[in-house]
Structure 1
Amino acid sequence: MNIKLLIHTMIYNFKKEFSYKIDFFGDLFSNCIFYSFQLILFSTIFSYINHLENWNKNSFYLSFLFYIFIFFSIESFNKSISDFFRMIFSGKIAPYLCCPIPLYFLIFIYFFSPAKLILSFLFLLYILYYSFQIGILHSIYEILLLILILGTLIFINLIYIFMLNFLSLFAQRELPVEYIHHEVFSLNLIPPTIYNSKVFYTLLISFPLILSAALPVYIFEFKKFEFIYYLLPLFFIMIFITKILLRKIKNYYGMFGG
């Protein structure tokens, strides 16, 4: 992918959102206040709970931080996916297909939301600060590994969203994909220790969406680095499925007019 194209797209989308300054800063401010309040609430509630099914206060707090970061990262690029499929359904995709850019770039990046990405970056900085404070991160290598794991989890979530949107094309009706994913992703707030080992490992290798916030905690706080190897096969399977669907999606361009 051309780095200049990526930078140009990011600058363009930022300027586009920033042109509505009140909406831009209002969205940033309201989300920061809302999730900061939730963090304070979580911290206060779990200060009275020292231990719950092998999941302590730090585990709850960290998993919620990861939940917020991954949520905003997904929301940023989910906007691009949703806008792309919405234009197919409305028959307005043709002008964008004439742009000299790769199809995957048009789907996953072209319409992304900079405001959500800024929020995710702010929470990532706080995650790194807090992780060093409590001693679960110790080096640049571990920071890079954490970012790689988070990137993998975000990618897997986005591909599941892409697959659901593609299913809506196949069914020839718009499905509430954002709502479905949001409800499934909300299951991250449930302590993962409630699952028995068979259910946990089944979810880990096939449907890690509802373990996205817990996995970084397991890996870095509880030193379960072997979980990384369970993610890798699914990561490559997702890449393979994405390549197939990108070829198939071209058959649906003219189905809804345009």
Structure 2
Amino acid sequence: MSIKILFKTLYYNFKTELSYKFDFISDFILTLSYYTFILYLFKIIFSYNNSFDFWRIEDFYISFLVFLSMNFILEATSDSLNDFFDKLFQGKIDSYLCKPIKFYFLIFISFMMPTKILIAIIFNIYMFFYLYFNNYFNSFKNLILFLVSIIIVNIINILFTFIIHSLTLLSDKNLSVGVIQYNIMQLCFVPPTVFSISTLTTLVIILPTIVSSAIPVLILIYSKYYFLYLLLIPLIIMTLISIIIIKKFMNFVRYFGG
């Protein structure tokens, strides 16, 4: 898929959002202000306690930054998935099948609203500056491994959300995937130190979304590099499942003339 088409799609979607300037600006400012305030409040509340079950305040804070950086990317992609499955569920997808774009692009990108991507970029920049100026990137290796772990957990979360969305077609009604996704993502705030090593390892392999904000912290600060290898297992499994589902969808949409 051409990068040019990607940027054109995002640009068009951005213009669509800007057609409601007040809604766009107010939503952008309020969202950014709210989470900035939460970060500030987070620092104040946890300043009275240096650690919780061997998970330091600094670990909590960096984990929360990781959560914000990936959550808005996931929400942006989830919006596109939600719109796609809504149209597919309602039988209104046929007009989109005439467009000269790849099917996976139609699913993951076509309906994406760039506002949340913009907010994600802002929090990502802040996170990397914070880590850099606090000397967490004391070697190039740490930077690369942390970046790779962030990319992998983002891909896993997106694929997991896609698979959950796919269950919509097996249901008699449209599932509230957003609610399911929200409830699962809230578990990211549970310190990984409350789990035993075997339980944490099992979670990373079976349901990594629950610990997706903690794994990059464990890799960066505690040098638990083996978690990076463990993440490859769900990444490969979810990728294969997603490919199978997309192929099934491609056969399914042929009935719409696609």
Same fold (TM over 0.5): yes
Match in the other structure for 1:222:
222
**Alignment partner, residue 75 of structure 1:** 75
Identity %: 37
What secondary structure is seen at the aligned counterpart in 2 of 1:48?
Answer: coil
**1:93 maps to what in 2?**
93
Q: Is the 8 A contact 1:166 1:249 kept in 2?
A: no
**Secondary structure, in 3 states, of the residue corresponding to 1:174?**
coil
1:147-197 deviations in Å (ceiling 9; x for gaps): 332121111111111111111102232111111011011101111111112
Contact 2:145 2:220 in 1 (8 A): no
**What's the secondary structure of 1:101's corresponding residue?**
coil
CA distance in 1 between partners of 2:16 and 2:92 (Å): 20
Give the number of aligned pairs. Answer: 257
Corresponding residue SS for 1:148: helix
Paired residues for 1:111-126 under 5 Å: 111-126=111-126
Alignment partner, residue 246 of structure 1:
246
CA contact (8 A) 1:169 1:252 kept: no
Q: Secondary structure at the match of 1:249?
A: helix
Q: Cα offset for 1:255?
A: 8.4
1:28 CA displacement: 1.1
Letter in 2 for 1:237: I
Task: Note the C-alpha offset of 1:70.
Answer: 1.0
Q: Within 2, Cα distance between the matches of 1:79 and 1:95?
A: 19
1:165 aligns with 2:165: yes
Where in structure 1 are there 5+ consecutive unaligned residues?
none
CA distance in 2, matches of 1:232, 1:254: 33
8 Å CA contact 1:76–1:117 kept in 2: the answer is yes
Query: Alpha-carbon deviation of 1:144?
Result: 4.1
Structure 1 residues 171, 243: CA separation in 2 closer, same or farther (over 3 Å shift)?
A: same
Deviates more, 1:17-26 or 1:27-36: 17-26
SS of equivalent residue, structure 2 residue 55: coil
| Deviation readout 1:10-35 (Å, 9 max, x if unpaired) | 21111111221111111111111111
Tell me how far 1:242 sits from its aligned partner: 1.1
- Per the alignment, residue 64 of structure 1 pairs with 64
For 2:190 and 2:140, the matched residues in 1 are separated by 30
Q: Which runs of 4+ in 1 moved over 6 A?
A: none
Shift of 1:45: 1.0
Match for 1:226: what amino acid?
A: Y
Partner of 2:179: 179
Deviation sequence 1:76-133 (CA, Å, 0-9, x none): 1111100000001121100001111111100001111200000000000110111012
**Which residue in 1 is equivalent to 2:212?**
212
CA contact (8 A) 1:63 1:213 kept: yes
Q: Distance in 2 between matches of 1:93 and 1:122?
A: 33
- Conserved in 2, the CA contact under 8 Å of 1:128 and 1:143? no
Alignment partner of 2:247: what SS?
Answer: helix
Is the partner of 2:130 in helix, strand or coil? Answer: helix
State the shift of 1:253 in Å: 3.9
Q: Partner of 1:192 in structure 2?
A: 192
CA RMSD of aligned residues (A): 1.8
SS at 2:52 equivalent: coil
Calculate the TM-score normalised by the size of structure 2.
Answer: 0.94
CA apart distance, 1:251: 5.0
Residues 134-173 of structure 1 aligned to structure 2 (within 5 Å) = 134-138=134-138, 142-173=142-173
State the SS of the aligned residue for 1:223: coil
Q: State yes or no: 1:38 paired with 2:41.
A: no
